[in-house]
Chain A
Amino acid sequence: MRFHIEHTTEYRYSEPATESFSELRLRPRDSLRQKVSRHYTRVQPAVLVESHTDYFGNFVETVSIPFRHPSLVVTSVCDVETKPLADVIEAVDLSVSEARQLYTPNRRALHDFLRPSAFIRFPPAVTKLAEEFLPSSAPFVPALRSLNEYLFRSLKYRPGVTDTRTTVEEFLIAREGVCQDFAHLMISICRAGGIPARYISGYIETDPIPEADGAAEGTALIGATASHAWLEIFSPNGFWVGFDPTNNCLEGGRHVQIGVGRDYSDVPPLKGVFQGSNSQTLSVQVRVTRNEPADRPPIPATETVVLTGTPDL
């Protein structure tokens, strides 16, 4: 599926900021499952945008504004084609404990995704869920699917209850939150159960798509103004597989990945500091539109992804 995405973030300062520096993680990843054909970032006030690749292979742009500005507007525009991999875990027929065994040779490379991190904690409530859903004897894939479904059924998607700093414990008490909270919780449970899991930030096509005959294709998917977050599990057969507990599904063609990290703190879309003002207000607008050309070129099968700085994998 092809998408045209426009993502606008505006910071308005209480008084004009005298200088600011920001790091943007807005460009979707290039990978086997998606290809970015066009991307640009526009910044107002206009300054040069520089870029590099971070430890987890994410594309990062930096913006330095050394003069007084009342607001900062960042617009990221891209055309991306998703080509979901065939269900790579369908054939994985292992128990959870067998899967854990198979991680051992990769222990060093997977270490970051097995340990607690800024937002990933193992409080008793989490370890209890890990024991319940990921016992050693359970079959690997069905266990993960049922955990995904459990979180979808028992917790409620509701924006405004939590914020970007909400912890897993707080979410478990409130039992309401957004996709980031769902992802953090499921990652915590998986890691507590010895299964490597990483955080994915991205977009999701939320509207059901009307078919030519008027019937809707698929169902409406949940995501905060089309910005979305989910997670990937490292499957023993060597693939990272996307789970979306907010929507009770596996990652599909309507998911567009931006970045990966241990948790949200590794991949915030916009992170910066400013001086000369006490406070700021933030407004975000994301539009994901389907953009299907009549004949789409096939994605070359040999495409590889270079992750700078990441220890193997």
Chain B
Amino acid sequence: MSNPLAEPKPPVFAASGSPAAAGVPRPGSLPESFDEVALASPGAAERFRQLTEELSKSGSTNLSRVSIQSRRLMRDLGVTFNLYREDAAAENILPFDPFPRVLDHATWQFLARGLEQRVRIWNEFFRDIYDSQEVLKSGIVPFEIVYDDPRYQRNAVGLKVPEDVFVHVAAFDLARDREGRWVVIEDYVGNTTGVTYALSARNVLSQAAPDLLERADLEPVHTYSTELLEHLRRFAHGSPEPRVVLLSPGVYNSAYYEHSSLARQMGIPLVRGSDLIVLNSRCYLKTIGGLEPIDVIYRRLDESFIDPVAFRNDSQLGIPGLLTCVRKGTVTVANAAGTGLGDNRALATYLPKLARFYSRETLLIPTVERRLCFDADQRDLVSSDLENHIVQHVSERSADAVWDPASLSAEGLAALRRRMDADPARYVAEPRLPLTTLPTWAGDALVPRHAGLRCFVFGGRQPRVFPLALTRFAPRAGSRTISSGLGGGIKDTWILRGPNPATSVETTIIVSSPQRRLRLGSRIADSLFWMGRYKARIENTTRILKVVQQVQLENPAQQRAQSWAALWEALARTTGHDTHFFKRSPLLRQQSVSQYLLLDRKNPASVLNNVARLRENARVTRESVPPEVWAVINRLWQTVDGAAAGDALNDDHALPRIQELEQRILDDVDALSGCAAKNMLRDDAWHFWTLGRHVERAITATLVTRQVLLKRADPATVATGGDSNLDALLRMLACQYAYRSLYQTRPTAEHVVSLVLQDAALPRSVLHCVEAIRDSLESVSGPEVRRRDAPSPLRTSAHLAGEVEFADLSTLFHSSSDGSRPQALFLDAWLEDLATRLTRLAGEISDHHLYHQAFNILR
């Protein structure tokens, strides 16, 4: 073993003020703080020296230049983490440090062997605990530790898992103890995080300083995601074409970036609990085409949430009944249910005994010295010297379950002691480790910062460490906490290749034929559908409001509100209000209607709120929305959010600002349509976006026409036409030019109705929209559409298209010799009925493709 401590080297460089500069360590006992560079083996130390030289030069690899560039790359890649806060939507760019950590080949091999052994032991432990519990019966591990841990899943006892593998993916945090030996300070055998940050670090550094990496001869890491997928597919229950999904708690989780980017890189669906459903002990993914059976669930969701019926009743995140599938062996959950027990820090201290018990081995890498407070002797040791310990909750992994007594106030310390005395079994304490640091770029110099190392292992019969590690560093000098939530960052980790790189582990690849593509997930389709609807709503509200205001400005003679009643009613109806809303509302008198409809946060139908919903839907479907489209949606959001932050739009002087804002919204919406048309594949996602837009447009066109045409004081004018309201109607639907080029006269009611309802060539006509809906439904329904048993929404839309196209509306405008009232009423009823049926069609689409009421299982 070439563990590099035989003779510690003096630091290669020492920044001013660094405690590391204080002196060379005595062998066998490190000072309170010490730089990793000094502990490096000759090979790694040499590389550290080269790096320092290289990065200090004023070339393309100059540190400050690489640093600035990598920050930009981190932002473009979207390497973010979420902080749990009230405004949970906040995403933060992770700080990146360009100075890498170097691990030489021999050190890495030692760590790899040790961690592979560790995963094997953990797996043996879970296999035993969730079966006959020999380790408890023989008293190797006190049963209280297991039975009193809420993460011991009684429901998982007796469940069989494929190949007896419980731990499919594991991670470990490592540090050096006072003797300089590597120790594991944290075991992650239930749910592991961090791997994509390690991948991003390499990605960013290789783009920001390509020549640096070219010369570096490192173990390659880019195959991680593919190997992970292959690894997971091995554990499917006998399915020849295993389907794997990644189960995430959703966008509000701090690791959502990791979930979405891993899913994208593995090419598998990122799902939430509600995307899956259990039926006859089989787990299915809801897709727009029906239910797809799922074989492996790579869960990134705490196991106590995965099945709300079996584990926790208050969880909305899981899949009710998932455990019945696991019990029947139809689905593999990775890591297996019950492995969360491994979060118990007390258990990790029993690993040396477990290694002997299960396989008569000696543990290669020890667990950090950790005192268990439920043991009276150990508790006394801790209690008498509390200031020199770090106290932790026995199994909670959050940052507020760790206490540093040295930094606590007298009251804080007393409170901690009280808590520990009240329930000692809940606490463990670790003697303070030395603070090992790495050189980190602080903008003008390299300074030492406390740094941690996390390694990743594939579990299985023969666990395998992947040559990838995550190095995180603390934000401030002397800071012990390494947490991205507290401002810490990441750096690349260089694992140097050995003399004979060809000896890397050979693993068999399951060669599979190309898979049938999974259809689009229903939730994603639902979001796209609603994005389309919100986009159309934003456009409609803005344009109709703009037209109403313009018409009034253009006809200053008619100041009676009554003249414009029909237009206001149209606006009210299409924004989801009662038709008389604006008549009764003081908004009109106060000139604040623009504020209300465009920017009011309290009006659920305001453009601002619709943009917010559009953006939120786009955000939760980021993996299906091209980045260009996301950028335009963000711009639209900035337009309205920025305007809402400014002065309210509620006086006469605001008119120019109102007009400008309306124009900007309409321009942004146009840009969004164009950008989506240009960048989106014409796949299922596109069709649902299209469906949403056309459903909304058809409904609005119908309602506006009805309101403007028929709800007027004098029904006789229906037939005569020629009033300015008809002109306004054409402008509201953006078809005044189409009308003029077609008819070359002032508008008449008959022609207007014919154009906006029945002209298939006009993109905003009801007929065009219904035909577009029909065509999109035909595309998503697949080749069976011609059959008589075509899905109902398709049949409904085809039926509606025919009806709109062939309705003989002209008779309603000519046979009015005895007064047009009955015909007017008939048209009114026809339009109202059309609007109702269009709304119902939207519901049918949702039911059939999105909520699975159709109940068809694929294959």
Contact = CB atoms under 8 A, between A and B. Distances in A.
Interface in A149-194: none
A42 interface: no
A111 B144 contact: yes
A111 B321 CA distance: 28
14 contacts: A21-B320, A23-B309, A48-B280, A50-B280, A50-B281, A54-B155, A62-B281, A64-B278, A64-B279, A66-B279, A68-B853, A272-B320, A273-B309, A276-B851
A52 interface: yes
Nearest to A273: B320
A108 interface: yes
Contact of B147 (A21, A115, A271): A115
Interface in A252-310: 271-273, 275-276, 308-309
Nearest to A268: B313
Contacts of A56: 154
B52 interface: no
Contacts of A48: 280
A40 interface: no
B737 interface: no
A271 B309 contact: yes
A66 B855 contact: yes
Contacts of A55: 154-155, 157-158
Contacts of A115: 147-148
B309 A21 contact: yes
A75 interface: no
Interface residues of B, number: 30
A62 B310 CA distance: 11
A23 B324 CA distance: 10
A273 B308 contact: yes
Those 5 A-B pairs whose CB atoms lie nearest each other, nearest first: A21-B320, A55-B154, A309-B158, A21-B321, A108-B143
A107 to B, nearest CB: 8
Contacts of B136: 108, 311
Nearest to A16: B853
B277 interface: yes
A275 B274 contact: yes
Given A20-B320, A275-B274, 8 more contacts: A19-B277, A21-B320, A50-B280, A64-B277, A64-B321, A67-B852, A67-B853, A108-B147
B141 to A, nearest CB: 11
Among B136, B313, B324, find the residue whose CB has the most chain A CB atoms closer than 10 A. B324
Interface of A: 18-23, 48, 50, 52, 54-56, 62, 64, 66-68, 107-108, 111-112, 115, 271-273, 275-276, 308-309, 311
A52 B327 contact: yes
Contacts of A112: 147
B736 interface: no
B69 interface: no
Contacts of A20: 320
B853 A108 contact: no
B853 A308 contact: no
Among A66, A108, A111, A275, find the residue whose CB has the most chain B CB atoms closer than 10 A. A66
B144 A62 contact: no
Nearest to A62: B324
B589 interface: no
B309 A22 contact: yes
Contacts of B309: 21-23, 62, 271-273
B133 interface: yes
Contact of A111 (B147, B155, B853): B147
A311 B324 contact: no
B855 A67 contact: yes
A311 B133 contact: yes
A56 B148 CA distance: 16
A6 B287 CA distance: 40
Contacts of B682: none
B137 interface: yes
A23 B278 CA distance: 13
Contacts of B853: 18, 67-68
A48 B144 CA distance: 39
A134 to B, nearest CB: 22
A21 B313 contact: no
Interface in B87-140: 133, 136-137
Given A108-B136, A275-B274, A18 B851 contact: yes
Contact of B143 (A22, A111, A309): A111
Nearest to B857: A66
A50 B279 CA distance: 10
A66 B148 contact: no
Contacts of A272: 309, 320
B144 A309 contact: no
A153 B332 CA distance: 53
Nearest to A108: B143
Given A67-B853, A68-B853, A108-B137, A62 B148 contact: no
A62 B158 contact: no
A198 to B, nearest CB: 13
Interface string B308-331: 111001000000110010011000
